[in-house]
Each structure stands twice: as structure tokens, then as C-alpha cells.
Amino acid sequence: MVRLTLSLVFFAGLSIGVGFLLSGDDQLIDWLLAGGLFGIALAGELTRLRIRRSRAQNGQSTGL
């Protein structure tokens, strides 16, 4: 759970930073872009978590 929290906090900061850098003169942060990037990161992390849990239930391991 700590890894998930840390990665989501990192991606939130990164997406807000990109939204700030790519915003126009009329707004401080491009919230649509930042939200979209964070949504992609959230979907990826949840997919990774779901795959990891399904492998644990099936007894599969990566061998590491």
C-alpha cells in the first residue's frame, strides 16, 4: 500500500507540474491536462495492483 501511495503522490505532482508548464497565459494550471495525465497514471497503477493480486491468488510468482 505504501508503494501505491508513493507512486500516486509522485504522479500527482508530476501531472500538476506538466499542467503548470503547458498552461496558457489565461490560466495558472491546465487542469484538464493534469487530470487526464493523473487518470492515466491511476489506471496503470490500479491495473498493476489487480494483476499482482490475481497472481497471488493463483499462486504464480515472477521468480524474483
**How many domains does the chain contain in total?**
1
CB distance 4 to 45 below 8 Å: yes
Nearest Cα residue to 52 out of 64, 63, 61: 61
- The structure's pTM equals 0.76
- pLDDT, position 53: 83
**Domain-located, residue 34:** yes
**Domain-located, residue 64:** no
* 4-13 per-position pLDDT tens digit: 899 999 999 9
Q: How far is CA 37 from CA 57, 59, 61, in A?
A: 31, 33, 31
**Domain-located, residue 48:** yes
Q: Which domain holds residue 15?
A: 2-57
**Domain-located, residue 28:** yes
* 12-46 per-position pLDDT tens digit: 999 999 999 999 888 899 999 999 999 999 999 99
Residue type, 2: V
**Domain-located, residue 33:** yes
What is d(CA 61, CA 36) in angstroms, rounded to the nearest whole number?
33
**Domain-located, residue 12:** yes
